[in-house]
Structure 1
Amino acid sequence: MATFSAVTRQHILRAIEEYDDRGRDAFLGVYGFTPAPGATLTHEGRTYDARAILGVAHRYATGRVATSEEFHDGAAGAAALLRKRGFHASGSEPAGATSSRTTTARRTSQRSASPRSAPRRAAAEEEPPAVCPTCFMALPATGVCDTCG
């Protein structure tokens, strides 16, 4: 599941620039997106596919393209995120779709009502990596420094 917290306005602008350079069909084809008329982004008078732009912006932010299946809130979620970054976006959910926020709220209220809620354990501390005493580089799994031998 992709998280979009690393995606900034600059990443989105780079994705828009690439969309303009490649053209709509080539852009969608290269990254494996299909046209999604329910989710649009309007920038400087041009209309773009919001999910594809956001997926490629995710690539600029993290190095990995977010696929259309990873948009857990669908078109509405993509549009909301783009609006948070200062863009004009519209998105609609298919008829009968339930918002992820509503589902999450239901799960949270069900969990809090459960008398068997177990407290979370703290994450185990990681040991620091072994370091070469000569060059102070992290040692590989063999324990022999690649630089010093």
Structure 2
Amino acid sequence: MATFSSLARQHVLQAIEEYDRRGAEDFLAVYGFAPNPAWTIQHEGRVYDLPAVVGVAHRYATGRLATSDDLAGSLPVAGAILRKRGFEVTEPAGASTARAVRAAAAPRARRTTTAPAPAKPRRASEPERVAPVCPTCSMTLPSTGVCDYCA
């Protein structure tokens, strides 16, 4: 099972750019994904296959392609992470309902009648730091700034 916390917006945009360059059928065929119209990601008015984009973005982030087997059961998590990265994700109608049912079934803590805590001032969120990428192989560069594969 793949983890998606290493996916940055930049990695997803690289996968989308490759998707556009290759075309949907070729992109899915090259990486071994079947079309999945239930899970989609929208970017600049275009719709993309979410599992394929996430799998290839995982490759850009870690160097290892996340296959369909790796993504099985992980699409809600990947979708939530991509929403945090600013993308619009659609999921099957049952996926969000299942989460709501699980949340409703979870035991709730009792509330006490104490005075509310004073509100803390909110900090402005910092923009996501864009990691440097090797211009030759598109891998994320280590802190030395020299690509491990090309140099």
Q: In the TM superposition, what are the counterparts of 1:49-68 in structure 2 within 5 Å? A: 49-68=49-68
Q: Give the paired residue count.
A: 102
Contact 1:58 1:64 in 2 (8 A): yes
Displaced runs of 4 or more, over 3 A: 72-75
Contact 2:39 2:50 in 1 (8 A): yes
| Residue type at the aligned position of 2:20 | D
- Structure showing greater radius of gyration is 1
Q: TM-score, length-normalised on structure 2?
A: 0.60
Identity among equivalent positions (%) equals 55
Structure 2: 5+ residue stretches without partners: 107-151
CA RMSD, 1 decimal: 2.5
Task: Tell me the residue number matched to 1:125.
Answer: none
Partner of 1:76: 76
After superposition, the C-alpha distances for 1:58-90 in whole angstroms (9 at most, x for unaligned) are 000000110122225344333222111110111
**What is aligned with 2:30?**
30
Task: Report 1 or 2 for greater relative contact order, CA contacts < 8 Å, sequence distance ≥ 6.
Answer: 2
* 8 A contact 1:41–1:90 mirrored in 2: yes
SS of residue paired to 1:26? helix
TM-score, normalising length: structure 1? 0.60
Which whole-Å deviations, capped at 9, do the CAs of 1:4-31 have from their partners, x for residues lacking one?
Answer: 1111000000000000000000000011
Q: Do 2:7 and 2:61's aligned partners in 1 also have CA atoms closer than 8 Å?
A: yes
Looking at structure 2, the residues matched to 81 and 34 of structure 1 have their Cα atoms a distance apart, in angstroms, of 22
Aligned twin of 2:89: 89
In 1, the alpha carbon distance for the partners of 2:36 and 2:72 equals 15
Shift of residue 94, structure 1, vs aligned partner: 5.7
Kept after mapping to 2: 8 A contact 1:39/1:51: yes
SS at match of 1:54: helix
Map residues 3-18 of structure 1 onto 2, 5 A cutoff: 3-18=3-18
Counterpart AA for 2:16 = I
Preserved contact between residue 38 and residue 91 of structure 2 (Cα < 8 Å): yes
* Distance in structure 2 (CA, Å) of the matches to 1:76 and 1:40: 12
- State the alpha-carbon separation in 2 of the partners of residues 86 and 98 from structure 1: 23
Cα pair distance change 1:24/1:66, threshold 3 Å: same
Tell which deviates more after alignment, 64-73 or 3-12. 64-73
Is residue 42–residue 89 contact of structure 1 (8 Å, CA) maintained in 2? yes
